[in-house]
Amino acid sequence: MQISSRFTIAVHVLVCIETFKNDYKVTSDFLASSVNVNPVVIRRLLQQLKKAGIINVVRGSGGTNVEKPLDEITLLDVYNAVECVEEGALFHFHENPNQLCPVGKNIHAILDTRLEAIQSAMENEMKSVTIKDVMNDAEKLIMIK
């Protein structure tokens, strides 16, 4: 199991927007050059972040800005905005375990509670980290401002 790169790209994008907002028009092309992906990938992510109320995008070459205070945006907010996790379930269970097999018949009872606890722990940790925290780390490492 692996979370897609959409999440880390979205965090990268938010750090770029904040870092360069006063010096550059932060467009999808500008962000794509930092992330080193096709601008279409960035545009899709920006749409998802906008829909979640995290950013605002001015059509054309107007640029992008963060809509909410950075200390009010958690990593979980970003994750929920861009990851396509069905029905809030991080772990996808195989559809039809064999009900005639003693393991197949009971695998949900064996794993469901543990997997829910693991997902809950991950989400709680993600709730504890804000984009402001990430920006603080970025400023230390890349000597911004």
Which helix (H) or strand (E) element contains residue 91?
Answer: none
Show the tokens assigned to 62. 């107007």
Residue 136 belongs to a domain? yes
- Tens of pLDDT, residues 14-63: 999 999 999 999 999 999 999 999 999 999 999 999 999 999 998 776 78
- Tens of pLDDT, residues 73-114: 999 999 999 987 666 677 777 778 899 999 999 998 899 899
Residue 1 belongs to a domain? no
* Residue 43 · residue 28 · CB < 8 Å: yes
- Domain with residue 47: its CATH number is 1.10.10.10
Residue 40 belongs to a domain? yes
Residue 45 belongs to a domain? yes
Residue 106 belongs to a domain? yes
Q: Which domain holds residue 79?
A: 6-142
